[in-house]
Amino acid sequence: MEIKDIHRVYFIGIGGIGMSALARYFRFIGKEVAGYDKTETPLTLELSGHDVSIHYDDNLELVPEAFLNSKGTLIVYTPAVKTTHSEYQYFLRNGFIIKKRSEVLGLITKDSFCFAVAGTHGKTTTSSILAHLLKETGTPLTAFLGGISEDFNSNFLLEGTDYSVVEADEFDRSFLRLSPNVACITSMDADHLDIYGNAEELKKSFLQFVDRIKPGGKLFIRKGLPLEGITYGIDDDSDYCIRNIRVEHGAYIFDLGTPEETYSGVKFNKPGRHNLLNGLVAFAMAIQAGSPPYRLAEALATFKGVQRRFSYRIKNEDFVFIDDYAHHPTEIDAVYDAIEEMHPNKRVLAIFQPHLYSRTKDFGDDFAKSLSKFNSVLLLEIYPAREEPIPGIDTAWLMGKMTNSRKKIIQKKELVSEIKKQNPEVLVMMGAGDIGLEIIKVKKELEYAH
């Protein structure tokens, strides 16, 4: 199926961050769009404002009649939706063309010069920086992002169709549907073991992804990964390297070395060495579009960030409130290190919502070690997402592994009163579940107190 043959697109799970970006793309190019999701969110409300029909009950009678005609209709679904979903089953039984989100991304980007960002951490931030750099240097691009860019206030950017920026997601082996011209791999830490079984299978999948790069294409890899490619790193002998880092007024100032030249006094405003690395590889990739390196270096300084990626919700002299999507031990470590670097010697209260029973079980010891670094920790119940409970695996089990003496399981309704009681100098809320909705409430309450 070619894009030109599609007249209508129906999304099962339209409110997901990646799915909603696709929905916006199809609406933008003039296709009829409708969809189902379990709950109403700011993303679904925004889509509804763009003439997209959305309903929240699994009920075929609520699907607009035109979308029940299989001719010219494409059905897109997310793996988060169970295959027992009655609408999905109807489309399956009646000969509709049904594709996963990743397949549709591959279809859209195959005729463009495609930049794909892969890795178990950093995909959304790196692809958002890359999209920002390309836009700032006048590159005609389409970007599908896994978060809300604070530069575009959106998870979707359409400035042209010559180039595309996509996240190459390892979950469910989705990234094997892409054929990029330029790719990067930021990390290959064990994750999604409910899909892969073990770390070795995950690594094999990344090697298969590398084989998907088009002939003559380029691969950028973080220094130290067991792959062949153009390397990037901090204070080492990488092909692209950041050196002489200093912190001024909460921003990094550094020298950026390329195989051809070194650019001095480059500025980057997002805290965390992990974010510096994300900015570096985005810079290196953007050069492949023909953008002048000195302009890209200037554009790094104007990158605002991505919502829920070390986002400052409140930042005063006496109190800092940070919000982050971290849901893996390595990501929690990166948040801790960034807080230590930017806000040293402060009393830090961390609130964490574990995401998935399987991930909590697979990395229980690592989660406990990472969380125990904080002065004080509040834990919410595990957010199940697509999973059924695993006997014996719950928040109390995780907390029992922690060595921190100041730890507590808490209900959402108790959050504000407990935060006020503890009165931290730095508050950080982390997780990939519905904790994001609680952050809005907490900010509203704490703004008046500070």
Binding-site residue positions for ATP:
119-125
Q: Using DSSP, state whether 177 is helix, strand or coil.
A: helix
Q: Where are the alpha helices (DSSP H) in 95-254?
A: 101-109, 123-136, 193-196, 199-211
Binding residues: 119-125
**Interatomic CA distance for residues 267 and 30, integer angstroms:** 40
Tell me which residue of 207, 204, 254, 258 sits closest to 230, measured CA to CA: 258
Strands 262-268 and 251-257: antiparallel
Q: Where are the strands (E) in 4-105, listed by range? A: 8-12, 32-36, 53-55, 73-77, 97-100
Q: In what order do the strands lie in the sheet with 262-268?
A: 154-158, 141-149, 163-168, 113-118, 182-185, 218-222, 230-234, 240-248, 251-257, 262-268
Give how far Cα 304 sits from Cα of 46, 143, 275, 396, Å: 22, 17, 12, 37
Report the C-alpha gap between 264 and 255 in whole angstroms: 4
Token pair, residue 255, equals 């020298």
